[in-house]
Amino acid sequence: MSGFQGNAPVVFRGVSFVTATRVSKDPQVGTIKMVDNEEYVFAYNGGNSQIVPTNICIPQSAMSIATVTLSSASGAGKAFGICKHATIPTASYGFLLRRGPATINGGANASFAAGGSVGIGDNGLAGLGAPIYGQALSAIASGASGGAYVSMY
């Protein structure tokens, strides 16, 4: 159920919305959208790889916080969002989950205990290093996917 958003902008696009070309009715990059107590942010994929569901993204540069790319090295960067619903091709816009439950995909050497911390891994995968951005909801074997609660700023 969606709740009252106070002075937040009204966003008419759903969180599965992806586009290569923004038009006037589309949200601005950086717009926050709340859906069922999940927080999403509208971002631009400025990297050279598509962002698929379960991928963790980091800011591409400090100059444009809502322009993102896949995490490239374990523990490098600050988690900005995770792709939850729809693949975001390169040079395209879409929503990333900032806070709420999501499916993560662990790296080849990253297994998570139930309740264990989730950090940034290589190539958009979850890893064991800092900074921590989530907590595994159940045990997740190396190279496998599973549920986590994420909280990114």
Domain ranges of the chain: 18-151
Tell me how far apart the alpha carbons of residues 109 and 153 are, in angstroms, rounded to a whole number. 26
Using the structure block, give the residue that is written with the tokens 């999940």: 38
Tell me how far apart the alpha carbons of residues 58 and 26 are, in angstroms, rounded to a whole number. 22
How much is the pLDDT for 3? 47
Compute the C-alpha angle 143/111/84, nearest 5°: 60
pLDDT digits (tens, 9 = 90+) for 57-109: 999 887 777 899 998 777 778 899 999 999 999 999 999 999 999 999 998 88
How much is the pLDDT for 2? 46
Tell me how far apart the alpha carbons of residues 133 and 113 are, in angstroms, rounded to a whole number. 15
Q: Are 27 and 54 in contact (CB under 8 A)?
A: no
pLDDT digits (tens, 9 = 90+) for 119-141: 999 899 999 888 899 999 999 99
Confidence band of 11 (pLDDT split at 50, 70, 90): low
How much is the pLDDT for 1? 40
For residue 6, give both structure tokens.
């106070």
Assess whether pLDDT exceeds 70 at residue 8: no
The larger pLDDT score, comparing residue 64 to residue 36, is at 36
* Full-model pTM: 0.88
Q: Are 115 and 135 in contact (CB under 8 A)?
A: yes
Tell me how far apart the alpha carbons of residues 80 and 97 are, in angstroms, rounded to a whole number. 9
How much is the pLDDT for 90? 96
**Beta-bridge partner residues of 127:** 119
Reading phi first (left if > 0) and then psi (alpha if -120 to 50, else beta), residue 133 is in: alpha
Using the structure block, give the residue that is written with the tokens 């989530």: 134
